Structure 1
């Protein structure tokens, strides 16, 4: 199984990079994982809705360029479907069956995803009604992805 995590922006802080690297190492036992980052747009603190749409549009174009046409796409969005860990593990099994070996998860930038990226998704996934920084969301997602493989293989995992 090929699993791609496609994200807007890069991780600047060492502790985030180390956390992601740890989960990449752990995931290597279960899938061929790759992380792809696209450049984020500079976003002023005070931004109107038109400028916000332009930022999401530019970032969305970059994301869509990186999505393999064969990939089954899952976007991480506040409005998406919520699962507990066991439910996500079961959903991962279904996604892998539907994906023909190519799964792509997408995390947008600070303003979210463009409608075009969202429309490309087979599933919109939400981790919470809270908003998380995209750096933290990467780590949370990778932990749950790893946990889903542990659950599905019957391996112990921390509850």
Structure 2
């Protein structure tokens, strides 16, 4: 399976970069995976809702340049479907069983994702009703992708041993 994470902005904190690199290396033994960073737009404090929408639209256009035709797209959004680790692993496994070869995960910037990205996604995924820094979400997502493979591979081993 090919996994692409399309994320707005760059990870700046060294500890997050190190954790992300560690998970990428773990996951690469099972999946093809890449992270695409698109430039975030400046969002000064206290900007209007209209200005926020303009910024999210610009970031959405950048995201769309990297979304792959035919890939199953999963946008991370607070209003998305919540999963626990087991349910998420099962969902990823089911996508593979249904012939999905590519998944694009989309992480917005500090203002979130534009409606065009939300409405165009095949699935909305919520990790929590909490708001997490978008840079930290990469690490959390990678952890869950890794866990999904681990749980999925053990499930396949158990099925094959019956």
Same fold (TM over 0.5): yes
Q: Say what the alpha-carbon RMSD is for the aligned residues.
A: 1.2
Aligned equivalents of 2:99 and 2:71: distance in 1? 7
2:126 corresponds in structure 1 to 126
Q: Offset of 1:43 from its aligned partner?
A: 0.4
Q: Give the number of aligned pairs.
A: 155
**Higher mean C-alpha displacement, 111-120 vs 77-86:** 111-120
Long gaps (5+) in structure 2: 156-162
Please give the residue correspondences for 1:97-136 in structure 2 after superposition, counting only pairs within 5 Å. 97-98=97-98, 100-136=100-136
Long gaps (5+) in structure 1: none
**Higher mean C-alpha displacement, 33-42 vs 95-104:** 95-104
Asked if structure 2 preserves the Cα contact closer than 8 Å seen for 1:72 and 1:98, the reply is no
TM-score by length of 2: 0.92
Asked if structure 2 preserves the Cα contact closer than 8 Å seen for 1:71 and 1:99, the reply is no
Aligned equivalents of 1:99 and 1:138: distance in 2? 25
Tell me the secondary structure at the aligned position of residue 66 of structure 1.
coil
Please give the residue correspondences for 1:90-101 in structure 2 after superposition, counting only pairs within 5 Å. 90-98=90-98, 100-101=100-101
Bigger Rg, which one: 2
TM-score by length of 1: 0.94
2:24 corresponds in structure 1 to 24
Asked if structure 2 preserves the Cα contact closer than 8 Å seen for 1:72 and 1:99, the reply is no
2:65 corresponds in structure 1 to 65
